[in-house]
Amino acid sequence: MKIKVISRNPNTYQRETVDQRNKIVRNFNTPADPFRAQTEYTRALNATKLERVFAKPFVASLDGHVDGVQVLAKHPSRPSTILSGSRDGQVKLWNLPSRSCIATLDAHRGLVNDISVDNSDGNSFVTVGQDSQLKYWKIPSTIDNNITTPAHSIALEGIAYGVSHLSYSSDFVTCGEDISVWKAFRETPLRSYNLGTDTIHTCRANPVEENVIVGAKSDRSIFVLDTRQDVPLKKVTMKLRPNKISWNPIEAYSFTVASEDYSLYTFDMRFMEHPIQSHQGFTSAVLDVDYSPTGQEFVAAGYDRSIRLFKSREMTSRDIYYTKRMQSVLSVLWSADSKFVMSGSNEMNIRVWKANAAEKLGPLTKREKQAFAYNSKLRETYKNHPEVRRIANHRNVPKHIFSAAREHRVIRDARTRRDLRRAKAAGLNEEESYLPATQKSMLGDAES
Ranges within 385-424 binding another protein (CB under 8 A): 385-387
Cβ proximity of 101 and 94 under 8 Å: yes
Report how far apart, in Å, the C-alpha atoms of 69 and of each of 8, 86, 162, 224, 225 are. 74, 4, 15, 28, 29
Residues 6+ apart with CB under 8 A from 147: 93, 103, 105, 137, 138, 139, 140
Sign, CA dihedral 211-214-218-219, equals positive
Of the ranges 30-38, 62-70, 180-188, 323-331, which one interacts with another protein (CB under 8 A)?
30-38
Of the ranges 38-46, 120-128, 336-344, 413-421, which one interacts with another protein (CB under 8 A)?
38-46
**At closest approach, how far in Å is the CB of 32 from another protein?**
9
Site membership for another protein, residue 29 (CB under 8 A): yes
Please identify which residue in 17, 19, 20, 22 interacts with another protein, judged by CB under 8 A.
22
Site membership for another protein, residue 1 (CB under 8 A): yes
By C-beta, is 10 or 427 nearer to another protein? 10
Residue 349 is which amino acid? N
Residue 395 is which amino acid? R
**At closest approach, how far in Å is the CB of 43 from another protein?**
6
User: Beta-strand (E) ranges in 39-99?
Assistant: 58-63, 69-74, 81-86, 90-95
| Residue 110: Cβ-neighbour burial (10 angstroms; 0-12, 13-18, 19+) | middle
Using CB under 8 A as the binding criterion, the count of chain residues that bind another protein stands at 35
Cβ proximity of 107 and 116 under 8 Å: no
Ranges within 41-100 binding another protein (CB under 8 A): 41-43, 46
Please identify which residue in 16, 19, 20, 26 interacts with another protein, judged by CB under 8 A.
26
Site membership for another protein, residue 218 (CB under 8 A): no
Site membership for another protein, residue 425 (CB under 8 A): no
By C-beta, is 50 or 231 nearer to another protein? 50
Site membership for another protein, residue 37 (CB under 8 A): yes
**At closest approach, how far in Å is the CB of 387 from another protein?**
6
**At closest approach, how far in Å is the CB of 394 from another protein?**
15
Residue 411 phi, psi dihedral angles, 5° rounding: -65, -45
Please identify which residue in 20, 31, 366, 399 interacts with another protein, judged by CB under 8 A.
31
Helix axes 36-53, 386-393, angle to 10 degrees: 10
Site string (368-387) toward another protein, x via CB under 8 A: -----------------xxx
Helix axes 36-53, 366-381, angle to 10 degrees: 110
Site membership for another protein, residue 21 (CB under 8 A): no
Of the ranges 18-26, 75-83, 170-178, 423-431, which one interacts with another protein (CB under 8 A)?
18-26
Cβ proximity of 294 and 338 under 8 Å: yes
Of the ranges 16-24, 58-66, 174-182, 350-358, which one interacts with another protein (CB under 8 A)?
16-24
Cα gap 109→90, rounded to integer Å: 8
Residue 428 is which amino acid? L
Where do contacts with another protein occur on this chain (CB under 8 A)? 1-8, 10, 12-14, 22-31, 33-35, 37-39, 41-43, 46, 385-387
